[in-house]
Amino acid sequence: MVTKVNGNSTSTFGGNIDVTGNSTSTFSGNIDVPQIVTDAPAFIATASADQTLSSATWTTIAFNTKVYDTNSNYDTGTYAFTPTVAGYYNCTTVIRSAAATTRFYTEFMKNPDGGEEYYGNDFNFAASSLNSNFSALIYMNGSTDSVVARAFMQGSGGLTTGSGIMTFSAFLARAV
């Protein structure tokens, strides 16, 4: 079957294509069309309370309130995003240090029981009320991979996060 595409109009086709207009060419073969995912996972969660961290210990941040979760892939008990569609996910977080700290790191941890780390900001000076805003593009297999947002603070006294502006979100950037 041959279908023509003329000017600005297009037609559905199966088989060969003739393109006419200013020039004419013929295509013979297969055309790969990217998969369109209509149920693409996306979520955003916030922290409902400040969280105290132990000094010099990586801690998963308790993003325990969903703003939305399009595919029910975010767990407010484990704070993990486990998408059911394989692909590359744009993960973003804002974590706030609400107390004095001498060192403040943030990261995404893929597969928290020993997976890959994606580091965000590293503030290596004495300060309080620091915001870490960062994103990472992370491949997830759509079945067992998950990701959490974590923070690491050093110092003495109460090392706490500030819940008011903290968020964790992700969306499918490209399915595979």
Q: What is the pLDDT of residues 110-149, one digit of tens each?
A: 998 888 999 998 888 777 788 899 999 999 999 999 999 9
**pTM of the full predicted structure?**
0.78
State pLDDT tens for residues 59-83: 999 999 999 999 999 999 999 999 9
Domains of the chain in sequence order: 1-32 (no CATH), 42-175 (2.60.120.40)
What 3-state DSSP class applies to 165? helix
Query: What are the b/e assignments for 110-143, b being 16+ CB within 10 Å?
Result: bbbeeeeebebeebeeeeeebebebebebebebe
